[in-house]
A = this chain, B = another copy of it.
Amino acid sequence: MTRKARPSEAAVEQRRQDILGLVLDRGELRIAELAERFDVSLMTMHRDLDDLAARHLLRKLRGRVASFPPLTVETATRFREGLRLAEKSALAAAAIGEVVPGSTVLVDDSTTNFPLAGQLTRIERLTVITNSVRVAQTVASAPEASVVFIGGRYHGEFESTSGPDTLRALASIRPDLAFVSATAITHGHLYHPVQDYALIKQEICRSAARSVLLVDHSKFGRTATYPHGDVGSFDLVVTDDRIPAEELQAIRDFGVEVRVAPVRREETNP
């Protein structure tokens, strides 16, 4: 009958993200219901779900799909990629000024730091240390870049390393500056759903001469299983202008400098 216009690749990916969001919200859903709700055939919905399942973002059962524990999924690189890009770019622009040419900069594993990594290629004679494959690849695309990758247990879902080897390597270096991000922050206290990464973020603050925390507004008011200190460990916090007022005050109460980056809004999701 009335055939539907073929959507662009980006639109398909967007739909799949939306499906995942819904599944994450509900925990479990019938496939037939999803097909109806997104107004696609059962076949297409199966294809979407097969794709998400192949990325280990949900489980496909007979007739229904189930989510993995929500925060674990949200932490996976494949899920966060491209999310809140405007905010992340704004944070990068506000933070890049901290970087001095010729210095050694440590960049944490986080999609928040990806735009920042792109900016770093413009600064001269930098040594960039990271445990994130994506950050390493981005910075190394500049011909004269010096990149040090920190080894350890490799996690495919984050495309980065962690664990005791990583901690040990971190303890033996002393970068001039470190950029760290957080997945969850409430009243100035930081949390991460994966213990290994919580430990790493703490160790980074200890090892770096100066450390900067990058968090967009969506991370505020959330918590996760493993606390990893508070904003007091940082010398500067960079966030965007949709940070809740009381959270902003909480950070200032720690005596930490806060830089609020303006985000140009066209069509931002809440």
Task: Tell me the A residues contacting B by CB distance below 8 Å.
Answer: 56, 133, 136-137, 140-141, 143, 145-156, 159, 161, 165-166, 169
Contacts and interface: CB of A to CB of B under 8 A. Distances in A.
B161 A154 contact: no
Nearest to A133: B133
Contacts of A156: 136-137, 140-141, 145, 147
A16 B159 CA distance: 30
A264 to B, nearest CB: 29
11 contacts: A133-B133, A133-B137, A136-B154, A137-B156, A141-B156, A147-B156, A148-B151, A149-B149, A149-B151, A149-B153, A151-B151
A260 to B, nearest CB: 33
A89 B147 CA distance: 32
Q: Which of A133, A137, A146, A159 has the most CB of B within 10 A?
A: A133
Given A56-B143, A143-B56, A149 B161 contact: yes
A162 B184 CA distance: 35
A55 B159 CA distance: 22
A146 B137 CA distance: 22
Classify the secondary structure of A's interface with B.
Answer: mixed
B141 A152 contact: no
Contacts of A145: 156
A161 B154 CA distance: 14
Contacts of A153: 146-149
A131 to B, nearest CB: 8
Contact of A154 (B148, B155, B159): B148
Nearest to A173: B165
A152 B186 CA distance: 35
Given A133-B133, A137-B159, A159-B137, A147 B154 contact: yes
Contacts of A150: 151
Contacts of A159: 137
Contacts of A155: 140
Given A149-B149, A165-B169, 13 more contacts: A133-B133, A136-B154, A136-B156, A137-B156, A137-B159, A147-B154, A148-B151, A149-B151, A149-B152, A149-B154, A150-B151, A151-B166, A151-B169
Contacts of A133: 133, 136-137
- 5 closest A-B pairs (Cβ-Cβ)? A151-B151, A140-B156, A147-B154, A149-B154, A136-B154
Contacts of A56: 143
